[in-house]
């Protein structure tokens, strides 16, 4: 029996990268799954891929910065599959500028906060009532391993993710009594379109990024899906308010080797 047998979940940012890998693994582990994104073509294709493999999946368009669309995403989940048991708030966007703080454009700061922090708030706000209705649930927010020590040139993104870390712990405190667990996973570098774009823009950063990891490689998307699925599942029934780093040793010091 799969880790998520009989459960219903949703993943934001599911058209690509880590969200897509999480959706695939969730389906393999027995969950019905709603893939959410703004990239409709890729999202429909990802849902179709899961259905072809024998899973139960639909794609729903929702921009996480728009509360009405986020509420509709949860309503569509309940309407299609009857309930919401777990969710991974994973969408990322809005940023992109590699700038020092004092050079960061306010519009870039705001758009990054909109997607990466307000987007998660919008999602949690809509997901919690549906999970209360289901008698409990599990929320897994995706942050970044860089929140633990900061990261030069990525101020808006890191600040937004730090906010999500705080929101995660706050949600855990507020909803433990309703049977809703709230945790996060903090990825290091992973081979996804996000990081591929980054390496295209800044090729000189590729080797430096790989060497930051004690394992001297970046991760495969499925390697981050594993802790997400575990946290979503009942196997993690006594786990709330924590962050699981999944980062190939980016936060241990291996530079003398
Ligand atoms: N890839 C990495 O190395 C890495 C490292 C650390 C943290 N992360 C985190 O992991 C998560 C997934 O990253 P990824 O690399 O798979 O990214 P990705 O760029 O491959 O996918 C992000 C998805 O989010 C969608 N999206 C963008 N704006 C949206 C919005 N407003 N509403 C709904 N969907 C929206 C995009 O269309 C895309 O499909 C993100 O939260 C990211 O910050 C990734």
**Separation of CA 177 and ligand 1 centre (Å):** 31
Using CA atoms, how far residue 182 sits from 49, 78, 91, 114, 235, in Å, is 29, 20, 17, 21, 14
Average predicted confidence (pLDDT) for the chain: 96
Helices (H), 193-254: 193-201, 206-212, 221-232
**pLDDT at position 76:** 98
187 lines ligand 1 (CB under 6 A): yes
**Separation of CA 14 and ligand 1 centre (Å):** 8
Which atom belonging to ligand 1 lies closest to the Cα atom of 187? 6
19 lines ligand 1 (CB under 6 A): yes
DSSP-derived 3-state class of residue 233? coil
The tokens for 68 are 């009405």
Among residues 59, 157, 175, 198, which one is catalytic?
A: 157
pLDDT tens digits, 139-179: 999 999 999 999 999 999 999 999 999 999 999 999 999 99
Q: Please choose from 13, 19, 123, 195 the residue to mutate so as to test ligand 1's pocket, defined by most ligand atoms within 8 A of CB.
A: 13
**Separation of CA 194 and ligand 1 centre (Å):** 7
**Separation of CA 256 and ligand 1 centre (Å):** 32
CATH class of domain segment(s) 8-243: alpha beta
**pLDDT at position 142:** 98
For residue 157, indicate whether it is catalytic: yes
60 lines ligand 1 (CB under 6 A): no
Predicted TM-score of the model (pTM): 0.98
182 lines ligand 1 (CB under 6 A): no
193 lines ligand 1 (CB under 6 A): yes
**Averaged pLDDT, groups of 10, the chain, 257 residues long:** 97 98 98 98 98 98 98 98 98 86 95 98 99 98 95 94 98 98 98 87 91 96 98 98 98 88
What lies within 8 Å, CB to CB, of 47 at 6+ separation is 35, 57, 58, 59
Q: For strand 57-61 and strand 86-89, is the pairing parallel, antiparallel, or unpaired?
A: unpaired
Domain range summary for the chain, segments of one domain joined by +: 8-243
* Cα 226-197-142 angle, rounded to 5 deg: 30
């Amino acid at each position: 029996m799969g880790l998520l047998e009989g459960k219903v979940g949703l993943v934001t940012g599911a058209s690509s990268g880590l969200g897509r890998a999480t959706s695939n693994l969730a389906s393999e582990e027995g969950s019905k799954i709603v893939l959410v994104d703004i990239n409709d073509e890729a999202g429909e294709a990802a849902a179709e891929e899961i259905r072809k493999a024998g899973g139960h999946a639909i794609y729903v368009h929702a921009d996480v910065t728009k509360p009405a669309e986020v509420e509709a995403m949860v309503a569509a989940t309940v309407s299609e599959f009857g309930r919401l048991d777990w969710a991974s708030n994973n969408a990322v966007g809005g940023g992109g500028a590699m700038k020092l703080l004092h050079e960061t454009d306010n519009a870039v700061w705001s758009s990054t906060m909109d997607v990466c922090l307000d987007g998660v708030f919008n999602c949690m706000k809509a997901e919690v009532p549906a999970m209360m209705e289901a008698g409990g649930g599990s929320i897994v927010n995706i942050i970044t391993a860089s929140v633990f020590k900061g990261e030069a040139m990525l101020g808006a993104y890191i600040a937004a993710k730090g906010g999500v870390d705080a929101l995660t712990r706050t949600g855990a405190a507020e909803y433990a009594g309703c049977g809703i667990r709230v945790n996060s996973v903090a990825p290091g570098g992973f081979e996804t379109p996000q990081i591929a774009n980054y390496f295209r823009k800044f090729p000189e950063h590729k080797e430096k990024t790989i060497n930051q990891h004690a394992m001297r490689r970046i991760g495969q998307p499925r390697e981050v899906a594993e802790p997400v699925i575990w946290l979503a599942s009942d196997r993690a029934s006594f786990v709330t308010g924590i962050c699981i780093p999944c980062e190939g040793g980016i936060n241990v010091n291996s530079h003398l080797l």
